[in-house]
Every structure is written in structure tokens, then in C-alpha cells.
Amino acid sequence: MTSDLEAPPPRHVCIIMDGNGRWARKRLMPRSFGHRKGVETTRRAIEFFARSGVEHLTLFAFSSENWNRPAEEVSQLMDLFLQSLESNTDELCEQGIRIRFIGDRSRFDAGLRAQLEESERLTRNNRRLTVNVAVNYGGHWDLVQAARALARRVAAGELDADAIDAPQFAAQLALGDCPEADLFIRTGGERRISNFLLWQLAYTEFYFCDTLWPDFSETEMQQALDEFARRQRRFGKTGEQLEGAG
Ligand code: IPE
Ligand code: IPE
Ligand code: MG
């Protein structure tokens, strides 16, 4: 093993958990079977990244564009989401994991909205790992709601428009209290962001793999962390500057 594995883990990992549908279709099964299998991988990923010392794990579970899927798949996803939270919240709590949801909840039914609040309430004092689950989330939605919040404060005379800077803008985003994402992982072979976090990905390291989400193993999770540890993050500086700094 190389010494780079001793580098500190990323503080904030975000994942586009993609490929459930194709995983199921390869087995001649309905897409919903892949989504159920995907929940098992999600549980393992939460345990793995908690053990690895990551502070924030942001998971893309349902995008604002996923409403465009067939109504039956959308409704199965909502049911699965509710069931998974009902059956896993206690265990998350025992593991010291805090769960929060980012996205526009207004389109969910009352039962699901109540469960989101309940899972957040039960786990809110946990500090080992914070899992941010993005549901009905879109990067555009997030930027627009931040702009609206600032505009309201300007209109109310509480804020000078010229005083708005990047940290103030960032504070209005759904992940306003999180460090920016260090590592982005997308399984399932596509090389795109699909309207996931936009602002927070400005200096993130990207890791794409072809493995479909239900097959994404702890070994591959570790490979993503190892790859991250080998990257030199320059933030605009030269490599020589960083090496000179030791
Ligand atoms: C990701 O898997 C899960 C959700 C978007 C809810 P997909 O359902 O997108 O699976 P593929 O990409 O069709 O294989
Ligand atoms: C992104 O995956 C959303 C989630 C994983 C929840 P999609 O499968 O919906 O993305 P596109 O449509 O292929 O870009
Ligand atoms: Mg997909």
C-alpha cells in the first residue's frame, strides 16, 4: 500500500447513485427490483463512509427531473422511500448518523413529508456522519431558491444588494452549513452531473465508474477514496507551489 492512503479522508462526499434500472433489466426484472437492491447498497455506503471518517455524505435519491418517469415508477420510488425510512431510521440512530433531506418537499404527499420530518427529528443530535438525502432536488432549484431568499431580504431593507458575496450566497443554499463537496462519485457509466449540486461542485474531484449502483461494493468505495487521496488539489495554484509548501 502506498503512503497516500494516509491522507485525510474527504470531509464531504456526494454520490449520484445511478444504474438501478439497468441492473434490473439485465436480469429481466422490473426496474423497481433494481431500486430495492439499490437501497441495500445505500445502507452499505452509509456504513462504509461513516467508518471512513467522512463528515457529510450527500446522496442523490430523486431529481426534480425524475418526475418525468412513468407514473408507476415514480409511485414505486415514493413507496420505497417511505418504507426504507420507516425501517432504517432506528438503526441509523444507533449508528450515530444524522439524516437530513434537501430538495423541494412540497410535491410529496403528507405521509412522506411527515416521515422525512420524523427521521430528521429522531437523528438530529447524531454527529458521527451527516447523510444529506437529495429528494426532488435540482441544482437549478437550489440556486433559484437561494436567490429568492436574498432578494426578499434586500426588498425588506435588511440587506444591501452590493454586499452580497459568495459566502453569503452559499449560506442560503440547501447545504449552506456543509463544507463544499470534496469528492463526487457517479456510478452507472454516465459522465454528467444531471442537475445535482452545482455551486458546491466548483472544486470537487470527480470519480466516475461504470459499475451499476446495486453492484457498487465496499472495495470500489475504497477505490474511490484511494483515487481521491492521489489527486493533487491545486485551487488555482501551481503544483510547484504546493510541493514547496511540503
Ligand atoms: C438511479 O437509477 C435511481 C434513480 C434515479 C431514482 P436509475 O433508475 O436512473 O437507473 P438507470 O440509469 O435507468 O439504470
Ligand atoms: C440522476 O440519475 C438522479 C438520481 C440518481 C437520483 P438519472 O438517471 O435520473 O440521470 P439522467 O437522466 O440519466 O441524467
Ligand atoms: Mg439513471
50-104 per-position pLDDT tens digit: 999 999 999 999 999 999 999 999 999 999 999 999 999 999 999 999 999 999 9
Could you list the beta-strand ranges (E) of the chain.
12-16, 56-63, 97-102, 129-137, 183-186, 205-208
* Packing angle, helices 31-51 and 218-230, rounded to 10: 50
Q: What is the pLDDT of residue 1?
A: 43
Residues of the chain with confidence (pLDDT) below 50 = 1-3
Q: What is the pLDDT of residue 222?
A: 98
Number of Cβ within 10 Å of residue 200's Cβ equals 24
Question: Whole-angstrom Cα distance, residue 135 to residue 62?
Answer: 5
Which among 16, 18, 25 is the best mutation to test ligand 1's pocket, defined by most ligand atoms within 8 Å of the CB? 18
In the chain, the domains with their CATH numbers are 12-138+180-229 (3.40.1180.10)
Report CA(32)–ligand 1 centroid distance (Å): 10
Contacts (Cβ under 8 Å, ≥6 apart) of 47: 95
DSSP state of 203: T
226/244 Cα distance (integer angstroms): 23
Q: What share of the chain is helix, strand, coil (3-state, %, to 5)?
A: 50, 15, 35
- Cβ of 185 below 6 Å from ligand 2: no
Q: pTM of the predicted model, to two decimals?
A: 0.96
Which pLDDT belongs to residue 245? 65
Q: For residue 90, how far is the Cα from the chain centroid?
A: 21
Residue 136 contacts residue 108 (beta carbons within 8 Å): yes
Find the length of the chain.
246
**pLDDT confidence of residue 121:** 98
Residue 182: predicted pLDDT: 98
Locate all alpha helices (DSSP H) within 65-217, ordered by sequence. Answer: 71-94, 110-123, 139-155, 166-171
Distance 19 CA to ligand 1 centre (A): 5
